[in-house]
Amino acid sequence: MPASPSTARAINDRLALRLLQQQGPLTAGQLKQLTGLSRPSVADLVERLAAAGLIDVVGESGEQRRGPNARVYGIVADQAHLAALDVRTEGVSVVVSDLLGRMLAEASVPIGGDTGTGPAVERAVTLVERAAKEAGVPELHTVGIGAPGLIDPATGELRDSGGLPEWHRRLVLALQERLPQTRIHVENETNLAALAEQRDGAAQDRGTFVLLWLGHGTGAAVVLDGTLRRGASGGTGEIGFLPVPGTVGLPSAVDCEGGFHSLAGSAAIVRLAEQYGPAVEAYGHEPPAARVVRQAVARGSADFLDALADRLAIGVASVVAVLDPGCLVLGGEVGRAGGADLAARVESRVRRMSPLATEVRASALGGEAVLRGALLTARDRAQDDLFAPR
């Protein structure tokens, strides 16, 4: 059944807005060429979008021709403002942007393990409010939050997970209370990192890949045929619980100690490094595991990097045997620190362990991927709402 005129107009409007968002300001002629629509149809959609306040004239083309130059149209960036949060066990980072993703403010605050739930929540919420005020934003349209732990696929809420501080779950409720007009969206941090790597990072050319997150803990995100897979309980990629050789005991339902986490978590990597040399020097605010890996690469510490690659290959080979993704990205601060050197070592070991060809790549975004993924998700949600047919 053919689409109704109103449905067709809505589809065309969304297509034009997506093109303007992805490619920047365009003339009506360029929109006609990119959309394949007729000149009258493009003229109509431009008029509709301008009347709705979604686009405006931002200049004129420099093309030499008879008569006036063509008008150049762009999305009205301050039609909506967004925020993204990266919630870690030790603190929170936030960025505020306009609808085009231009950064307007950024801030972070540490939250120690001895901080009570109430004070921790208040510190995080105040951070968001302060960043919005600094950006000159009167109201946030959408907030994207990346957090460790499981997200309930039915409700979209952060589930109570063992080992994570209570303030993580309370933060979402507190933000909704303090920002009642704002849309709040929560997603697992590793899933957001994978979306960022797919959109802007190491997996831009891949519709199917797995991201192995190597940070304070371990996690994985699975993208199959361009779609993020979350699983029946939201737990796809909980690789820290994967039983593997080389650990003492087995993981339990409430503790991943004894699983892959015991080989590749931050503390395990630091302990491994200590077996191959003296403690490394401090390096800014970089996490300890990322610091030891970065310095090992710089020093050419082959023995340590080989031992680390042996450990990582155990988890990677398990993922490859089940999913055959063809590409795996070593993400998080550790994956970025190891770079192409560590990725190549892991790939060579997986090649010996599995008949399934798998390219192993280093993250292009590192620890920044969660915040970027949260912002991309917030922007997509806001555009879905603003660009929806009225």
Round to whole Å and give the CA distance between 107 and 93: 6
Has residue 64 got a pLDDT over 60?
Answer: no
Round to whole Å and give the CA distance between 159 and 164: 10
Has residue 284 got a pLDDT over 60?
Answer: no
pLDDT at 283: 55
Say which residue the tokens 């077996």 belong to: 275
Has residue 158 got a pLDDT over 80?
Answer: no
Has residue 9 got a pLDDT over 60?
Answer: yes
List the one residue out of 151, 142, 181 whose CA is nearest residue 169: 151
Indicate the average pLDDT of the chain: 89
- The lowest-confidence range among 72-81, 220-229, 258-267 is 72-81
Q: What is the pLDDT of residues 93-132, one digit of tens each?
A: 999 999 888 899 999 999 988 889 999 999 999 999 999 9
Largest Cα span, the chain? 79
Q: Quick count: other Cβ atoms within 10 Å of Cβ 106? A: 15
DSSP code for 2: P
DSSP code for 330: E
CA angle 142, 148, 151 (to 5 degrees): 65
Helix pair angle (369-386, 189-200), 10° resolution: 80
Round to whole Å and give the CA distance between 256 and 236: 15
Q: What is the pLDDT of residues 71-104, one digit of tens each?
A: 899 988 888 999 999 998 889 999 999 988 889 9
Has residue 387 got a pLDDT over 80?
Answer: no
The residue-averaged pLDDT of 354-375 equals: 95
Which residues touch 309 (CB under 8 Å, ≥6 apart)? 342, 345, 346, 348, 349
List the one residue out of 381, 380, 370, 286 whose CA is nearest residue 86: 370
Q: What is the pLDDT of residues 308-361, one digit of tens each?
A: 999 999 999 999 999 999 999 999 999 999 999 999 999 999 999 999 999 999
First-to-last C-alpha distance (Å) of the chain: 22
pLDDT at 13: 85
The residue-averaged pLDDT of 134-149 equals: 93
Contact 82, 99 (CB under 8 A): yes
Round to whole Å and give the CA distance between 341 and 349: 13
- The token pair at 68 is 């006036």
Q: Provide the Cα torsion 255, 256, 258, 264; round to 10°.
A: -150
pLDDT at 3: 61
Q: What is the pLDDT of residues 234-249, one digit of tens each?
A: 889 999 999 999 898 8
List the one residue out of 90, 88, 87 whose CA is nearest residue 115: 90
The model carries a pTM of: 0.88
- The token pair at 34 is 């990119």
pLDDT at 278: 62
Share of the chain residues as helix, strand and coil, in percent rounded to the nearest 5:
45, 20, 35
Q: Which residue has the higher pLDDT, 169 or 184?
A: 184
pLDDT at 136: 94
Q: How confident is the model at residue 280 (pLDDT cuts 50, 70, 90)?
A: low
Percent of the chain whose pLDDT exceeds 70: 93
